[in-house]
Amino acid sequence: MAGFRDGNIELHSVGGRGAAPAHRFEDTPSSPVVRLLPGPRQTLIAGFASGVLGVWDLANGSRLHHDRLHGALTHLLLTGDHLLAATDLGQHRTLDLSVFTRPRCEVLRQIWSRVEVVWEGGQPVRRAPDPPHPCLAR
């Protein structure tokens, strides 16, 4: 992994010197990368001088989460399922990353308990999930 002053992040394939980047990461800010940290389940956590904090998928470079704090991101600490981030101006944030480590059905049941809509025919429809869904069985 390499972070650059223009905000780009590149993941290089194994192959030694001069290997072409495996892919670029999408939606990175135009700000120097100041911190990179491996995240859970093949993710990358990055902090930028502009205060942007992001989580990217290592497999394809897509951005999964972003946030903005006041000041340059100077500290990133992953402890269990939580990311602690802090800036040079003292702002801090705790991000719960357990969605990446919990079982799929557990995450779906939590979402269903809070969101009473399903996606149907390209539209959100207010109703419970289909009874035959395997994650409904407890």
Which tens digit of pLDDT belongs to each residue from 73-124?
999 999 999 999 999 999 999 999 999 999 999 988 888 888 888 788 999 8
Does 110 lie in the same domain as 42? no
Which pLDDT does position 40 carry in this prediction?
93
Q: Which domain does 46 fall in, by range? A: 2-98
Token pair for 94: 């705790």
In angstroms, the Cα distances linking 13 to 2, 25, 56, 112 are: 12, 14, 17, 39
Length of the chain: 138
pLDDT greater than 80 at residue 3:
no
DSSP helix/strand/coil, 100: helix
pLDDT greater than 90 at residue 12:
no
> 13-27, 31-45, 124-138: which has the highest mean pLDDT?
31-45
Does 109 lie in the same domain as 61? no
Which pLDDT does position 15 carry in this prediction?
58
Phi first, then psi: what are they for 104, rounded to 5°?
A: -55, -50
pLDDT greater than 80 at residue 21:
no
CATH classification of the domain holding 40: 2.40.128.630
pTM above 0.95, yes or no: no
